[in-house]
Structure 1
Amino acid sequence: MEKVTISAAAREGIGVKGALSKIRAEKKIPAVIYGGQKEPVSVTVSVKDLDKIVKAGKNTLVEMDLNGAKELALVKEIQYHAVTDNPIHADFQRVSMKDKMDVVVPLKLEGTPADVANYGAIIEHILREIEVRALVSAIPHEIVLDITPMTINKGLVAGDIKLPEGVELITDAEAPVVHLAIPKEEEAPAPAPAADAAAAQPESSSTKGKKDEEGNLTKDAAKK
C-alpha cells in the first residue's frame, strides 16, 4: 500500500477569533487526528501536503510527523469551501498496520463490451464504490472491473467482483454494479386525423340529407 509522509503541527489558538483565517492565510489547513484509543489532537497541515495525499488516491496511508512523533492515519474526510472549492478542514483517523478496517473503495470500469457496438447498448454504472474489510496494509485505492466480456443479458453484481487477496466484501453481494441497457426507440407521434370539411360545416335542417352522390345539392334542396 502506498504511503505518503507529511508534517503536522499542534494547533494553537483554538477558539481565538481570527485564528483560522491566519492559518489559512499561511496556506495551511486546520485538521484533527482521532481514534486509536488516544485523545483527539487538533493540528495544522500544509495545503501542499494535503494535495499530495489527494493525488495519491483514496485510502492512502498517511505517516504524519507530529512534533517528532509518528502517527499512522487515513484521511476520513476533507471539507471544501462551497464557493472556492478550496480545502478548509481535514479529519484523520489513526490506524494500526495490525488492524482490519471497513473502508469504502471506488470502482473503476475498464474495457468496452462488444454489444455496445453491435446493438447500441448503453453502459449503466449503478454502484460506483463498495465497502470492504481488510488489513490497513491491504486496503486498495480502487478496484478495476474489466467489463469487456459483458453482454446485454448478463450484468455484474457486487459478488462478481474479484477482490485482491485479503480483502473481504461487506457490501451486499447481490447489489447491482453495472449492466448494459438497450435504448428505447422513440415512438413517432400518431398523425392528426384529417379534418372533414363537411363535418366542420354542419348542414342546415333544410338541406340535410338532400345531397346527391357527388355531394351537390339536389334540385329540390336548391329550391328550398
Structure 2
Amino acid sequence: MEEMNITAEARTGEGVKGALSKIRAEKKVPAVIYGGHKNPVSITVSLKDLEKIMKAGKNTVAEITLPEGKEQVLVKEVQYHVVTDLPIHADFQRVSLKDKMDVVVPVKLVGESPDVKAYGAIVEHILREIEVRALVSKIPHEIEVDMTPMTINTGIVAGDIKLPEGVELITDAQAPVVHLTILKDEEPAAAPVADAAAQPESSSTKGKKDEDGNLTKNAAPAKDAAKK
C-alpha cells in the first residue's frame, strides 16, 4: 500500500472563540489523532495535504510528521461544510504496520455480463462495502468484482469474492453482493370502461315508476297533469 507523508502542526487554543475559523481561513483543517494506547493529539493539517490523502483512496496510510515525532495513521472520518463542501475537521486513527486490523473496503463492479445487452438484464448492486481483516500494509483501497461470467438470476455473495493475498473476509460469506435480474412482463391493460348504457342511472337521469312499477321517463309532475 502506498504511504503518504505529510507534515502537521500541534494545535493550541482549543475552546478559544474564533480559533477554528482562523485555522480554516488559512486553508488548514483542524484534526485529531487518537488510538494506539496513547492520548489524543490535536493538530492542524493543510487542506492540500488532506485532499491528497483522500484522493489516494480509502484506507490510505499516512505518515504524519509532528514536532515530537511521526505517527502512522488512517483517515477515519472527515467532516465537510454543508455549503462549501470543504473539509472542516478530520479524525486520524493511529495504526501499527505490524498489526492486523478490521476495516471496511468499497466494492467496485468491473466488466459487464453479456446478458445485460442480450436480454436487458438489470444489475442490482446490493452490498457496496465489505469488512476485511489484514495488515495495514495489505489493506486494499477497493475490492473488484468481475461481472463478466454472471447470467440472469445468478448472484455473487461475499464469499465468492477473490480477495488479495493476506486479506481475510469478516463480512458474512453468504451476504449477497450483486445480482442480475430481468424485468417481469408488463401488466395486462386495464379492462375497458363499460358502455354508458350499462352504467347505473344517476339520480338526475333515471325516470319515475308508476303504481304498477313501470318506468316512465321524464314523467310530468302531478300538478301539471291536473291542469290539462
TM-score range for the pair, normalised by the shorter chain length: 0.7 to 0.9
Structure 2, unmatched stretches of 5+, are 216-228
Superposition deviation, residue 153 in structure 1: 2.5
Alpha carbons 2:153, 2:181 under 8 Å: kept: no
Over the aligned positions, Cα root-mean-square deviation in angstroms equals 1.9
Q: Distance in 2 between matches of 1:130 and 1:197?
A: 61
Q: Distance in 2 between matches of 1:50 and 1:66?
A: 15
Q: Distance in 2 between matches of 1:198 and 1:20?
A: 74
Query: How many pairs does the alignment contain?
Result: 210
Superposition deviation, residue 203 in structure 1: 6.3
Superposition deviation, residue 205 in structure 1: 4.2
**Aligned AA (1:142):** E
Q: Distance in 2 between matches of 1:49 and 1:43?
A: 13
SS of alignment partner, residue 54 of structure 2:
helix
Q: Distance in 1 between matches of 2:143 and 2:209?
A: 82
Q: TM-score, normalised by structure 1?
A: 0.88
Q: TM-score, normalised by structure 2?
A: 0.86
Q: Distance in 2 between matches of 1:154 and 1:198?
A: 50
Q: Distance in 2 between matches of 1:176 and 1:198?
A: 52
SS of alignment partner, residue 196 of structure 1:
helix
1:219 aligned residue: none
1:194 aligned residue: 195
Counterparts of 1:195-210 in structure 2, within 5 Å, are: 195-196=196-197, 200=201, 205=209, 208=214
Superposition deviation, residue 172 in structure 1: 0.7
1:131 aligned residue: 131
Superposition deviation, residue 69 in structure 1: 1.4
Superposition deviation, residue 198 in structure 1: 8.9
Structure 1, unmatched stretches of 5+, are 210-224
Structure 1 stretches of 4+ moved >6 Å: none
Q: Percent identity of the aligned residues?
A: 70
Q: Distance in 2 between matches of 1:115 and 1:197?
A: 49
**Aligned AA (2:191):** A
**1:70-125 alpha-carbon deviations (Å, 9 max, x no partner):** 11000000011122211110000111111000000000001111111121111010
Q: Distance in 2 between matches of 1:18 and 1:205?
A: 89
Superposition deviation, residue 204 in structure 1: 5.5
Instruction: Say yes or no: does 1:64 pair with 2:64.
Output: yes
**1:184-205 alpha-carbon deviations (Å, 9 max, x no partner):** 3332222212221696465654
**Aligned AA (2:78):** I
SS of alignment partner, residue 193 of structure 1:
coil
Cα–Cα, structure 1 residues 193 and 39, in superposed 2: closer, same or farther, change >3 Å? same
2:222 aligned residue: none
1:102 aligned residue: 102
2:93 aligned residue: 93
**Aligned AA (2:193):** A
2:221 aligned residue: none
2:225 aligned residue: none
Cα–Cα, structure 1 residues 163 and 198, in superposed 2: closer, same or farther, change >3 Å? closer
Superposition deviation, residue 34 in structure 1: 0.7
Q: Distance in 2 between matches of 1:198 and 1:190?
A: 15
2:14 aligned residue: 14
Q: Distance in 1 between matches of 2:163 and 2:105?
A: 11
Q: Distance in 1 between matches of 2:20 and 2:161?
A: 44
Instruction: Say yes or no: does 1:39 pair with 2:45.
Output: no
**Aligned AA (2:44):** T
